[in-house]
Amino acid sequence: MAKVTVDGRAIEVPDGANALEACRAAGVDVPHFCYHPKLSVVGQCRMCMVEVEGMPKVQASCTVPIRDGMVIRASSERALAARNATMEFLLINHPLDCPICDQAGECKLQDNAFDAGLPVSRTSEHRRLVPGYERTEIGPHVVADMTRCIQCTRCIRFCQEITGTGELTFVERAGHTFVWTHEGKPLDNDLSACAADVCPVGALTVKEFRFRKRVWWLDKTRSVCDGCEVGCNLSIEFKDRIVYRFTPRVQPAVNDYWLCDYGRFLSERLNEPGTTRPIVTGPGGEKRETNWGEALDAVKAAVDRAISDDPSRVIVVGSARLSTEENWLLARLFRDSLKVKNVEFAVDEGPPRRMKRGNDWVYGTEAAPNSRGAEAAGVRRSVSGDGSRLDLLLSKKNSPPAVLYVADASLSDRVSDPAFVALLRAASVLIVHARVKNALSEAADVVLPAANQSGKEGTFVNRDGRVQRFDMAIVPPPVVRTDLEILLHLGKLWGAFDTAWTASDVFGRMKGSVSGYADLDWNSDDLVGNPPSASITSAYDVLGLERRPEDEVFTRPSVTAPDVKP
Amino acid sequence: MSGGANTPLGELPGNPRAGEHGARSCGHPVAFGAETKAAFDRLLTRYPTKQAALLPALWLAQKEFGWISREAVDYVASLLELSPAFVWGVVTFYTMYNRAPVGKHLIQVCTSISCHLNGAESVYAACRKKLGDLKPGETTPDGKYTVVEVECIAQCDKAPAVQVNEDDFFYVTEEKLDDFLKGLK
Amino acid sequence: MAGLDPIPPVLLARAGKPDSVKLAGYVADGGYVSWKKVLTGSVSGEWTPAKVTEIVKASGLRGRGGAGFPCGLKWTFVPPKERRGGKPVYLLCNADESEPGTFKDRVLIEQDPHQVLEGMMLSSFALDVKHAYVYIRGEMWKGAGILNEAVAEAEAAGLLGKNILGSGMDLDITVHRGGGAYICGEETALIESLEGKRGHPRIKPPFPAVWGAWGCPTVVNNVETLSCVKHIVDRGAEWFKGIGRNDRNTGPKLYCVSGHVEKPGVYEAPIGIPWEQLLAMAGGVKAGRKLKAVIPGGASAPMLTAAEVAGVPMDFDGLAAAKSMFGSAAIIVMDETTDMPKAVTNISKFFAHESCGQCTPCREGTPWLNKALKRIVNGGGKRTDLDLLLSIANQMGNGMTICVFADAAIAPVLSGVSKFRDEFEAYIAESPAADAVLPAPGGITAKVADRMAAGMHD
């Protein structure tokens, strides 16, 4: 560690930090653009200027490695004048696009312009133009507008250093410099939308989000991606029951600052029309909507009947998409209370997803987030030698199940295969929790409408055994229940559960018997991870230090933007 | 993706030096002939990394193919195991790699200070006018002449200085312009 | 002063001779004697790398590329072998001569390439270099061809290659052509360009001597500097020191004189001759006209009025004392017919074209200066423009940027606008927009701009 003084405050900073990070540690948020904790330092934007005692000229703080005893003046008149100068230079060519630019509200140029720069413009010259390079798609998910680019090279460095794909480059030089791809090689890699994340202005924006919502209207909730078992931390951003986008939350233990395109654009899945009312099937095969009471009674009746006949003909299928709490309730109810032996789950092998963590790629090969949690909760992982995992479960050819209880109707991609649906349909009574209508829910005898991932809270265990909590964003519509609630209400019919339990209550009850959960605290920050940050590109995580409210008054000499609470 | 035209400081599209910023296609894949490939292989032995051979390799490409097309970029990138975008970024940084075909005589008129003090701007304007009112960077319709403006070429004592392809020409005043152009076959 | 007495040509001794580029003639004139003596002496221990470095240090040789940094001292920044982690040392000869007004390196390369090569060889010996490169600007087709042939001749004669003359030393020299960029004359941008990238200067520290080409210790020296090394080893440090104005400005110097003079050209003289003597060598101002201004060190040097340049010793310290800089010794002479606003605008166009574009103040500031100046000389100037130009320029230099290109770009604007303000005002007086006013900038920046301006002209 080294002792450094910033604006008169003495602090200790880890060796290897730079002066910008040291200022951050001392509570001084020096404005910057090109610096990013996960990318190489280039010192190009010249925004983060400070004075360092012993160095005669102003310095770009991100380029100054700290030394023990260093004295930094981040808020002296000279430092402020230097930053004002850079801000003025950036604004002379930047278009006045704020009214039509997606980035407004989470734009570093806007934010930094509050801290630095002149309140008026001194230029009357024509602005730089880049005809042909405005609002053009440069990749399947990214729209580029080079009039807005401030040439910070974050996107270029992202593609070179993080994904290693190198699709972006500086083109031309001097005042004509801009960023583009090479003909025929668009910005197309599995993390491509992160290039728009790192862009501090609206030069690169996400196509799917374009013009949909002003970011200051968006409510944000901490969640975890349910696309694979890597378990990237993300923020569900929504307003009035519509999910507008996912953005990554910073989590060095899992996904750094990134989110893969596949996981990011699963957000639209949460807007799909769901199943709306419980459905039961009459004796003549006619399906009708009903209420929860009748539906759950029908389930109980069928299960009781089957168990009294032959419990081995009851098969319960959990899911790696359900939380550990939900899987645990499933196992407690059927296996422990009702003595049903066949409580299993199987998870599809997905196309391999990958995520950059530090300098390494980590891979997710399962198509669901919580196989380890399901297993730890007591639902047996069904594996078979020939790869058709679930079929083994169901291929008791001579006697199809009397009751097949499927706690997730989207348990596999194979539900779009009529043969697979037929296999499950062979059960005498088919009961499903369904988030959306699909072939399996259409075929089921009892359909219990379940909330999608935005309406639930619980924990997933990722590929590394890390337990991560996700929170509810949108209260499910009136008649839809979370899988947790469904199981509590069902279990109550047998006296096994209390419907007053919340997910956190279930968590507390299951801790003792689920491996990996013993020492965890539902309310701890560790479990849920970092808050969605107003600007995910800020240098929050590097030194693990928290923002202290009293620091805000320390250095702002001019108008301060209203603090946007995460 | 679409390449557009820009007008940097007075230069207009069609300028092989600073015209369209997207790489133009030459319509067919390209590859070094045997002799150039041998020269390229020799190049690689002079540097500790493949990437360091990029600028010389681009010179070989320009010599062999006449100009740096999109296909030339892809080819050189593949030879040196670099991303094509990176190579394109290098091509567009430097002024001398032509991104479009140039005329038989690439007339480069210096207009930096010492030549400026000797009337270079009027030589540049007059040269373009004489060749058919060429815009900066434009090529004559018969493909013989392209006229561009360049910065100091280190011939300040012989101002106004002009370079045509690889050759140096000195004292090219407005009065001497006709003779100069006549000498370019 | 004895050191300023005329001397027979040293660097240009062989220029103009028939076949001056050929090895045979070079050897006949005493070339490669030092190279051979140092190599054979290295075996007996009579010559060591440290000895060569000491001689160069003692000579007082200052870099001839523009910065004027003591050459021998720069060499000592290379870590000793035991602290290099096994990395090789590279020597790069900077032949990217692109500073407007400079053409001396071209003359050295085109007229006496072996002089340059021998300088490189001796320097490589001193620095433990096995691979040296000449980074020559792409526009110098002729020079590159001549150098390539000279290298081939040297290789054929066994003066380069493996185990040269049985000394155990290996050395090869590669000529590397640039693509056309002034900024690649900056040493770290040169290194970047050599590595096969866009020529973006690097953040310093680390300095190239410690972390340069491919992360290895690297020394970048100018063509003329390396040519001087050859003569210093030939004739000794004391001889070199005996030429020139004083201990801090030593040796023969090539002066490039261009612009409004009778005889523009390269002139060799002891470093530090007075301005009047140099002007006389170049035949005086063209057509006997009056001198108006001089740019003494290439376009990056602050302009001096006729009064300010009078009596100034033409060397590093002399011009620093006159509040300008010696730079590449590119003297651009402007007589009374010169339209100063147009000259300043022309130079601003150069810098706007040549900025590498990576850092904000330079990338945005150089075109802003150029656009404003063009507007003024095209008749659209405002009375507020001149102070605006000074203000823009004052917030571009002095540590605001990664390299000193910005400091170079602002020098002609600051000196031109302040010293020839009346000419600019004359343009503005004719402008229909003269009285247009933009809102005044808010408090802090105007105050601080003044303070920075005061710092610049201290």
CATH at residue A471? 3.40.50.740
Residues A15 and A126 in one domain: no
Report the DSSP beta bridge partners of residue A460. Answer: A468
Which chains have 3 or more CB–CB distances shorter than 8 Å to chain C? Answer: A, B
Name the token pair of A373.
């949690």
Residues A369 and A439 in one domain: yes
Q: How many angstroms separate the CA atoms of B154 and C105, rounded?
A: 9
Test A166 with B89 for CB contact under 8 angstroms.
no
Structural domain boundaries, residue A462? 279-522
Give the tens place of pLDDT for each residue, C165-190: 999 999 999 999 999 999 999 999 99
Residues C365-384: what's their mean pLDDT?
Answer: 96
Q: What is the pLDDT of residue A536?
A: 44
**Interface mutation vs chain C, best among B62, B110, B115, B116, most C CBs within 10 Å:** B116
Nearest residue in chain C measured CA to CA from A119: C442
Q: What is the pLDDT of residue B13?
A: 37
Test C449 with A81 for CB contact under 8 angstroms.
yes
Last residue of a domain, one of A164, A180, A211: A211
Domain membership of residue A364 (yes or no) is: yes
Check whether B151 has a pLDDT greater than 90. Answer: yes
Q: How many angstroms separate the CA atoms of A181 and A156, rounded?
A: 10
| Helices H / strands E in chain B, number of each | 7, 4
Residues C439-456: what's their mean pLDDT?
Answer: 53
Domain membership of residue A246 (yes or no) is: no
CA distance A82 to chain C (A): 7
Say yes or no: C401 contacts chain A, CB-CB below 8 A. Answer: yes
- A180-219 core/surface letters (b: 16 or more CB in 10 A; e: else): bbbbebbbebbbbbbbbbbbbbbbbbbebbeeebebeebe
User: What is the percentage of chain A residues whose pLDDT exceeds 90?
Assistant: 77
Residues B89-107: what's their mean pLDDT?
Answer: 95
Taking CB atoms and an 8 Å cutoff, what residues of chain A touch B82?
A: 166
Say yes or no: C269 contacts chain B, CB-CB below 8 A. Answer: no
Say yes or no: B13 contacts chain A, CB-CB below 8 A. Answer: no
Q: What is the pLDDT of residue A562?
A: 33
Residues A292 and A400 in one domain: yes
Residues A422 and A503 in one domain: yes
Q: What is the pLDDT of residue A95?
A: 95
CB neighbours of C79 closer than 8 A, spacing ≥ 6?
C209, C210, C217
Q: What is the pLDDT of residue A400?
A: 83
Q: What is the dihedral of CA C317, C318, C322, C324, to 10 degrees?
A: -60
Contact C121, C160 (CB under 8 A): yes
Q: What is the pLDDT of residue A470?
A: 98
Q: What is the pLDDT of residue C438?
A: 67
Q: What is the pLDDT of residue A350?
A: 86
Residues A313 and A394 in one domain: yes
Q: How many angstroms separate the CA atoms of C332 and C338, rounded?
A: 12
Say yes or no: B51 contacts chain A, CB-CB below 8 A. Answer: no
Say yes or no: B52 contacts chain C, CB-CB below 8 A. Answer: yes
User: What is the percentage of chain A residues whose pLDDT exceeds 70?
Assistant: 91
Taking CB atoms and an 8 Å cutoff, what residues of chain A touch C400?
A: 46, 49, 58, 82, 85-86
Q: What is the pLDDT of residue A124?
A: 83
Residues A396 and A428 in one domain: yes
Check whether A223 has a pLDDT greater than 60. Answer: yes
DSSP B8-49: GGG--TT-TTTS-SSPPP-SS-----HHHHHHHHHHHTTSSS
Domain membership of residue A243 (yes or no) is: no
Say yes or no: C268 contacts chain B, CB-CB below 8 A. Answer: no
* CATH code, C340-429: 1.20.1440.230
Residues A87 and A167 in one domain: no
Q: What is the pLDDT of residue C450?
A: 60
Say yes or no: C103 contacts chain B, CB-CB below 8 A. Answer: yes
Q: What is the pLDDT of residue A550?
A: 36
Estimate to the nearest angstrom the gap between the alpha carbon of C226 and the chain centroid.
Answer: 13
Say yes or no: C101 contacts chain B, CB-CB below 8 A. Answer: yes
Last residue of a domain, one of A187, A211, A235: A211
Test B153 with C139 for CB contact under 8 angstroms.
yes
Could you tell me which CATH class the domain C2-241 is placed in?
A: alpha beta
Last residue of a domain, one of A211, A238, A256: A211
Test C352 with A174 for CB contact under 8 angstroms.
yes
Point out the residue among A131, A171, A178 whose CB comes nearest to the CB of B5: A131
Test C401 with A123 for CB contact under 8 angstroms.
no
Strands lying side by side in the sheet with A70-73: A9-13, A2-6, A70-73, A49-52, A59-60
User: What is the percentage of chain C residues whose pLDDT exceeds 70?
Assistant: 95
Give domain limits for chain C: 2-241, 252-335, 340-429
Residues A88 and A118 in one domain: no
Check whether B4 has a pLDDT greater than 70. Answer: no
How many separate domains does chain A show? Answer: 3
Dihedral sign (CA A209, A211, A212, A213): positive
Give the tens place of pLDDT for each residue, C292-331: 999 999 999 999 999 999 999 999 999 999 999 999 999 9
Q: How many angstroms separate the CA atoms of C15 and C9, rounded?
A: 9
Contact C282, C261 (CB under 8 A): yes
Q: What is the pLDDT of residue B2?
A: 27
pTM over 0.90: yes
Which chains have 3 or more CB–CB distances shorter than 8 Å to chain A? Answer: B, C
Domain membership of residue A329 (yes or no) is: yes
Residues A69 and A148 in one domain: no
CA distance B70 to chain A (A): 7
Residues A286 and A373 in one domain: yes
**What one-character DSSP code corresponds to residue B132?**
T
Residue (of C363, C360, C381, C362) closest to C372 by Cα position:
C381
- A 10 A CB-CB count for B173 gives 15
**Interface mutation vs chain B, best among A182, A188, A204, most B CBs within 10 Å:** A182
Q: What is the pLDDT of residue A346?
A: 87
Give the tens place of pLDDT for each residue, A237-287: 999 999 999 999 999 999 999 999 999 999 999 999 888 899 999 989 899
Q: What is the pLDDT of residue A392?
A: 58
CB neighbours of A524 closer than 8 A, spacing ≥ 6?
none
Domain membership of residue A505 (yes or no) is: yes
- A 10 A CB-CB count for A281 gives 16
Average pLDDT, chain C: 94
Domain membership of residue A255 (yes or no) is: no
* CATH code, C252-335: 3.10.20.600
Q: What is the pLDDT of residue A317?
A: 93
Q: How many angstroms separate the CA atoms of A373 and A320, rounded?
A: 8
Q: What is the pLDDT of residue A312?
A: 86
Taking CB atoms and an 8 Å cutoff, what residues of chain B touch A178?
A: 21
Test C357 with A150 for CB contact under 8 angstroms.
no
Q: What is the pLDDT of residue A547?
A: 41
Taking CB atoms and an 8 Å cutoff, what residues of chain A touch B22?
A: 132, 180, 183
Nearest residue in chain C measured CA to CA from A55: C399
**Could you give the C-alpha distances from C48 to A132, C76, C167, C226, in angstroms and in order?**
61, 14, 12, 18
Name the token pair of C412.
């002609």
Q: How many angstroms separate the CA atoms of C292 and C307, rounded?
A: 9
Test A132 with B85 for CB contact under 8 angstroms.
no
- A70-104 core/surface letters (b: 16 or more CB in 10 A; e: else): bebbbbeebbbbbbbbbbbbbbbbbeebeeebbbb
Q: How many angstroms separate the CA atoms of C287 and C310, rounded?
A: 20
Q: What is the pLDDT of residue A549?
A: 39
We report the CATH number of the domain holding residue A119 as 3.30.70.20
Give the tens place of pLDDT for each residue, A487-536: 999 999 999 999 999 999 999 999 999 999 999 999 998 999 988 875 44
Residues A196 and A313 in one domain: no
Domain membership of residue A228 (yes or no) is: no
DSSP collapsed to 3 states, C141-166: HHHHHHHHHHHHHHHHCCCCECCHHH
Q: What is the pLDDT of residue A369?
A: 97
**Could you give the C-alpha distances from C456 to A57, A565, C340, C351, C449, in angstroms and in order?**
12, 44, 22, 20, 10
3-state secondary structure (DSSP) of residue A316: strand
Q: How big is the CA angle at C20 (ends C19 and C24), to the nearest 5 degrees?
A: 75
Report the DSSP beta bridge partners of residue C270. Answer: C252
Domain membership of residue A302 (yes or no) is: yes
Q: How many angstroms separate the CA atoms of A553 and A560, rounded?
A: 10
Q: What is the pLDDT of residue A543?
A: 42
Say yes or no: B59 contacts chain C, CB-CB below 8 A. Answer: yes
CA distance C44 to chain B (A): 31
Residues A115 and A64 in one domain: no
CB neighbours of A57 closer than 8 A, spacing ≥ 6?
C398, C399
**Could you give the C-alpha distances from A543 to A15, A26, A60, in angstroms and in order?**
11, 11, 19
Taking CB atoms and an 8 Å cutoff, what residues of chain A touch B83?
A: 165-167, 169, 182, 185
We report the CATH number of the domain holding residue A48 as 3.10.20.740
Taking CB atoms and an 8 Å cutoff, what residues of chain C touch B159?
A: 258, 264
Give the tens place of pLDDT for each residue, B8-66: 323 333 344 444 567 889 999 999 999 999 999 999 999 999 999 999 999 999 999 99
Residues A372-388: what's their mean pLDDT?
Answer: 79
Test B21 with A137 for CB contact under 8 angstroms.
no
Nearest residue in chain C measured CA to CA from A117: C445
Strands (E), C30-165: 89-95, 129-136
| A-to-C residue pairs, Cβ atoms closer than 8 angstroms | 135
Residues C71-81: what's their mean pLDDT?
Answer: 97
Contact A158, A39 (CB under 8 A): yes
Which chains have 3 or more CB–CB distances shorter than 8 Å to chain B? Answer: A, C
